[in-house]
Amino acid sequence: MDKILFVTLGGALGATFRYLLSTYLVNYFSNNHFISFITPIFIINGLGCFIAGIIFSLINEENLKLFLLVGILGGFTTFSSFGLEFLQIAKEKNLILAFVYVVLTNIFAIISVYIGYQCMQFTNT
């Protein structure tokens, strides 16, 4: 039960951080619609992955890792989990599998969003 509490509290903090940073960046780049749309996602994903790499290399205590990696960074950006999974596969000296994972995950995600959207369009007609 403690583990669920660590993840839940961290997730709430991470989602709040993401919302605040995203809102700030949209306002900061509000003079350019394209940049204001792309920049928050790009910065948040990059920042989350960078921090995940640091935490993954420095912290060994399980509950703290759950709180920081799964909780805070999971709420901030799931892209950090994606980056960590790539790193773990690559560290096992399986670079081909790591790159296949990246390509397939991205293709699957995009197709899944499209199918979900189309399903709702179909049911709304």
Q: Which amino acids are annotated as binding site, given as ranges?
A: 74, 77
Rounded to whole angstroms, how far apart are CA atoms 66 and 118?
A: 35
User: Which residue ranges make up the annotated binding site for Na(+)?
Assistant: 74, 77
Q: How many whole angstroms separate alpha carbon 3 and alpha carbon 62?
A: 9
CA distance linking residue 38 with residue 45, whole number of Å: 11
